[in-house]
Amino acid sequence: MSEVVSRIIDAPPEAVFTVLSDGWLYASWVVGSSHIRDVDADWPAVGSRIHHSVGPWPLHIQDVTVVKAVEPGVFLELEARGWPLGAAEVTLTLVPRGEGRTEVRMTERVVRGPGKVLPEAVQALIAKPRNGEALARLADLVIGKYANRGSAQS
């Protein structure tokens, strides 16, 4: 089983999911994703894709992330691809934690490519710091959007 990285965000699950539902924001919080080329109009429906680049220019790889499963406001399961490096299954689960707070739990495991031969403990050791940073970036985006929405309605 993949190691879970989690973070409490001071916003309700709906606000967190709003950011996850905006595929154009993907490169703003996913560590390693450097550029969004296109987002399917029905993102984050099952099977929809974000067309992105991974890595620094000029060495970036163009690939996609595909939605495997989704329950709005509850979870999002993705297959993040970056060939020739491989593909990883990433799950984001949103757990309400009191009034207006959400625990975001993130797991990642390599499902294809060279990284698949690494034991899951090694995969987790590599993924944990990156996923912790991704959740910190996600929290900043959510708080910024949620706080701005609240002040605009006042």
> 5-148 domain in CATH 3.40.140.10?
no
**What's residue 125's pLDDT?**
83
Residue type, 70: V
Of residues 7 and 124, the one with the higher pLDDT is: 7
Mean pLDDT across the stretch 100-105? 96
Mean of all residue pLDDT scores within the chain: 89
Beta strands at 61-71 and 49-54: parallel, antiparallel or unpaired: antiparallel
pLDDT digits (tens, 9 = 90+) for 29-66: 998 888 899 999 999 999 999 999 887 778 788 889 99
- Cα(108)–Cα(1) distance, integer angstroms: 9
Show me where the domains of the chain are located. 5-148
Of residues 123 and 92, the one with the higher pLDDT is: 92
H or E stretch at 2: none
Which residues touch 152 (CB under 8 Å, ≥6 apart)?
none
Per-residue confidence at 151, pLDDT binned at 50, 70, 90? very low
What single string gives the DSSP state of each residue in 24-72? GGHHHHSTTEEEEEEE-TTTTSTT-EEEEEESSTTS-EEEEEEEEEEET
- Cα(81)–Cα(136) distance, integer angstroms: 22
Strand order from edge to edge, sheet including 87-96: 5-9, 102-112, 87-96, 75-81, 61-71, 49-54, 33-39
Per-residue confidence at 132, pLDDT binned at 50, 70, 90? very high
Estimate the share of the chain in helix, then strand, then coil, as percent rounded to the nearest 5: 35, 35, 30
